[in-house]
Amino acid sequence: MSDLVPTIGVVLLTQGKRPDDLRRGAESLLAQVGVALDIVCVGNGWVPVGLPDAVRTLALPANVGIPAGRNAGAAEVSGDYIFFLDDDASLPDPSFLADAVAHIRNDPGIGLLQPRVVDPSGATNPRRWVPRIRKGSATQSSNVFSVWEGATLLPRAVFDATGGWAAPFFYAHEGIELAWRVWDQGLRTWYAGDLVANHPAIEPTRHAYYYRLNARNRVWLAKRNLPAVLVPLYVGSWTGIQILRWARRPAALRAWFGGWAEGWRTDAGERRPISWRTVWRMTRAGRPPIV
């Protein structure tokens, strides 16, 4: 990696449904200082228009899903690092990317960084944006084992070694797989509570499609990434959690178990189980890959 100005490939993903937010995110990238950026805006089933000239565009003919869309953009950018930004997110601090790179350079054990997420309007920030079981203060930094995917930074070599985002997932849980595959490289995934990305505090729509993919991808996550003996333990623990969580919502549970069954009977794609050494490291760090 360069010892001078950090070079960062940036993938800005959109379906073109939020043009004002998209432009705000693009402009927040162009306002970054102390870094050299190679930015591409991926139109997932949309031809990107109305963007600053410095932002290259890649139009995908159909919506291939969030992780596959990010992977398509990653193939088009270069740099020592790679940064992914969703179209409804933005960076309020012009030094954000330089500071995030400094975190990784100062602690080479960090292989993936997610910032604290804040709604700029002052609305209450969802607790799910802090990817810890014990949430604590949102400003507290720590190792984590999943990420909120809307603003993430990795060294490019680390991202390439993960194999990229889990393209078959389409939506949901790809941030868990990416984090696990970073841990499997002997590195750590880091929640940086001192760095901020903006995002509106909007609840994801809870429809049958959401519940189905949530369950299917939970099974696929285990089938793709865990040693065989841990697969039923992981899926079983999450099955119990969902039954307790949605016991009074039978429609949600029906959709969820439909996805659960689909996950078991369908091909999850490439299987790359993490090592038992990684299982032990994650356990010692506070999150065995069972819950």
Task: State if pTM tops 0.75.
Answer: yes
On the question of pLDDT at 1 being above 50, the answer is no
Q: Which fold has domain 7-198?
A: Spore Coat Polysaccharide Biosynthesis Protein SpsA; Chain A (3.90.550)
From 263, 57, 41, select the one nearest 168 (Cα to Cα): 263
Q: What is the pLDDT of residue 206?
A: 62
Q: Provide the percentage of residues in the chain whose pLDDT is more than 90.
A: 90
Q: What is the pLDDT of residue 93?
A: 98
Residue bearing the bigger pLDDT, 188 or 290: 188
pLDDT band at 208; cut points 50, 70, 90 = confident
Residue range 51-79: average pLDDT?
97
Residues 126-180: tens digit of each pLDDT: 999 999 988 999 999 999 999 999 999 999 999 999 999 999 999 999 999 999 9
**Domain residues of the chain, as ranges?**
7-198, 208-284
Q: Provide the percentage of residues in the chain whose pLDDT is more than 70.
A: 98
pLDDT band at 3; cut points 50, 70, 90 = low
On the question of pLDDT at 205 being above 70, the answer is no
Residues 88-111: tens digit of each pLDDT: 999 999 999 999 999 999 999 999
> Cα–Cα distance between 242 and 31 in angstroms, integer?
42
Q: What is the pLDDT of residue 210?
A: 85
On the question of pLDDT at 204 being above 90, the answer is no
Residue range 72-98: average pLDDT?
98
On the question of pLDDT at 239 being above 90, the answer is yes
Residues 8-51: tens digit of each pLDDT: 999 999 999 999 999 999 999 999 999 999 999 999 999 999 99
DSSP letters spanning 38-88: EEEEEEETS---S--TTSEEEEESS---HHHHHHHHHTT--SSEEEEEETT
